[in-house]
Amino acid sequence: MRRQLKILEYTLSSLLRRKYKNLSLIAVYAFTIATLGSVLFLTHALKLEATGSLTTAPDLVIQRISAGRHDLIPTEYTELINKLPGVESVTPRVWGYYYDSLIRANLTLVGISTYQGKLELLEGRLPENPEECAIGSGVAAAFGPAIGDDLVLEDSDKLRTVFKISGIFRAESNLLTNDLVVLQETALRNFFSIDKKMATDLVVQVHNQREINTLAKKIKHLLPDTRPITRDEILHTYDTLFNWRSGMMLAVAVAALIAFCILAWDKATGISAAEKQEIGILKAIGWETADVLSVKFWEGLVISLTSFILGTLAAWIHVFVLDAPALVPLLKGWSVLFPKFQLTPAVDFYQLFVLAFLTIVPYLVCTIIPAWKSAITDPEQVMRG
């Protein structure tokens, strides 16, 4: 142990003699790790956020499919599904998307009698008549209104409809409410010109969670034009979506990592004459090849660990303190009105281990192999160059 500590002490002094060269290398190394780490941290945090937001999602969502696309579903399907054994309740929902050209954002409009979710109003109240609405914090920030002000939207006939804001609310996660506008169901039907006998989809609650897939098959058999979607399928879709988007970004980041490895290999194989002379002198004064390799191992480990810690810390600050401004638009999706929320700090230690393995080990190899070649060469030949 004492021998290795002395070798480490010599390694640190050797690194300090070439401090500018090593600092520039650490800066590039740390930036590469920070890029990879930011993608991993943000993806994992968004997955946890989405999973937490969907814990209150319905057991089954029934959509009607026409020509391969989502269509309005007849409310009479409610009675047919309600007769199936194991069904606790069936509720029609009325909702839709609205693009506002003023703020260039997509809003989600929901009928209050059909909204299923645990909302906590920040101030005000939910709409009590067709002339009122409650809006999410993102909508409030985009339009700039307060409680009691008017929200003007264009209906399906291109007529301007005025709603008085009765409340600005939030939920446990802004992913649910940021772009939300809650109206009375009658007002929403009039706004979108939806017939009373139709709904956007049906929400099914099941007594026994183990029977969800069985009920989904029964509903599909009973109503062939429908598409039952389970909560597990929604979670799997989010997981796949984030994996795909993060995979695209990681592919670019891995290309940067490969470029760095090439740079590290070039730096290591192109070992300077001064470093070769240093190795030759160490061999000449009695150092063994194992001791020289220990010096280079500690040198590579110090640089790689320092870069890894700095890069991981930078990724943490970028994602959980600065809210990942460079990556959020790519991972959150196509919506213009991005949900602004504070990500809960969370780290997948398996991902962290893989990141460390893929960034530290290649650099150590690139450092030790050229040093080994110089260490096994005759010291006189090495010093002469």
pLDDT tens, residue by residue, 150-159: 999 988 777 8
Does 117 have pLDDT greater than 60? no
Does 266 have pLDDT greater than 80? no
Whether 263 and 176 map to the same domain: the answer is no
What is the average pLDDT value for the chain, to the nearest integer?
80
- Predicted local confidence at residue 62, as pLDDT: 96
Whether 48 and 63 map to the same domain: the answer is no
- Predicted local confidence at residue 276, as pLDDT: 64
- Percent of the chain clearing pLDDT 70 (strictly above): 76
What is the C-alpha to C-alpha distance for residues 109 and 194, in angstroms, rounded to an integer?
13
Q: Is 200 helix (H, G, I), strand (E, B) or coil?
A: coil
Poorest-confidence range of 123-132, 203-212, 301-310?
A: 123-132
What is the DSSP annotation of 20-43? HHHHHHHHHHHHHHHHHHHHHHHH
Which of 170, 205, 229 finishes a domain?
Answer: 229
Whether 281 and 335 map to the same domain: the answer is yes
| CA 316 to mean position of chain CA atoms | 13
Alpha helix positions (H), the chain: 2-17, 19-53, 77-82, 137-143, 174-177, 185-192, 212-222, 231-269, 273-284, 289-316, 328-332, 349-375, 379-384
- Predicted local confidence at residue 11, as pLDDT: 77
Whether 32 and 113 map to the same domain: the answer is no
Whether 167 and 256 map to the same domain: the answer is no
Side-chain half-sphere of 319: how many Cα atoms within 13 Å?
Answer: 25
Confidence of residue 195 (pLDDT cuts 50, 70, 90): very high
Whether 216 and 247 map to the same domain: the answer is no
Confidence of residue 114 (pLDDT cuts 50, 70, 90): very low
Does 261 have pLDDT greater than 50? yes
Residue 73 or residue 245, greater confidence: 73
Residue 226 or residue 124, greater confidence: 226
Does 277 have pLDDT greater than 70? no
Confidence of residue 315 (pLDDT cuts 50, 70, 90): very high
Whether 66 and 172 map to the same domain: the answer is yes
Whether 78 and 215 map to the same domain: the answer is yes
What is the C-alpha to C-alpha distance for residues 26 and 247, in angstroms, rounded to an integer?
26
- Predicted local confidence at residue 232, as pLDDT: 85
- Predicted local confidence at residue 341, as pLDDT: 57
Confidence of residue 298 (pLDDT cuts 50, 70, 90): confident
Mean pLDDT along residues 264-286: 64
Q: Who contacts 246 (Cβ-Cβ below 8 Å, separation ≥6)?
A: 39, 40, 42, 43, 331
Rg (CA), the chain: 30
Poorest-confidence range of 109-118, 234-243, 361-370?
A: 109-118
Mean pLDDT along residues 254-270: 64
- Predicted local confidence at residue 252, as pLDDT: 63
- Predicted local confidence at residue 116, as pLDDT: 45
Confidence of residue 242 (pLDDT cuts 50, 70, 90): low
For the chain, the domain total comes to: 2
pLDDT digits (tens, 9 = 90+) for 12-61: 787 788 788 888 888 888 988 898 888 888 878 877 777 776 777 789 99
Q: Which two tokens stand for residue 100?
A: 């506002």
Which of 229, 252, 275 finishes a domain?
Answer: 229
Does 86 have pLDDT greater than 60? yes
Q: Comparing C-alpha atoms, which of 81, 118, 85 is closest to residue 201? A: 81
Q: Which residue has the tokens 């997948």?
A: 348
The whole domain housing 97 covers 58-229
Does 124 have pLDDT greater than 90? no
Q: Comparing C-alpha atoms, which of 38, 16, 289, 72 is closest to residue 194? A: 72
Q: Is 196 helix (H, G, I), strand (E, B) or coil?
A: coil
Whether 78 and 189 map to the same domain: the answer is yes
Confidence of residue 288 (pLDDT cuts 50, 70, 90): confident
- Predicted local confidence at residue 115, as pLDDT: 46
Whether 11 and 136 map to the same domain: the answer is no
Residues in the chain: 385
Residue 88 or residue 118, greater confidence: 88
Which of 229, 247, 276 finishes a domain?
Answer: 229
- Predicted local confidence at residue 136, as pLDDT: 85
Whether 48 and 65 map to the same domain: the answer is no
Whether 18 and 89 map to the same domain: the answer is no
Confidence of residue 330 (pLDDT cuts 50, 70, 90): low
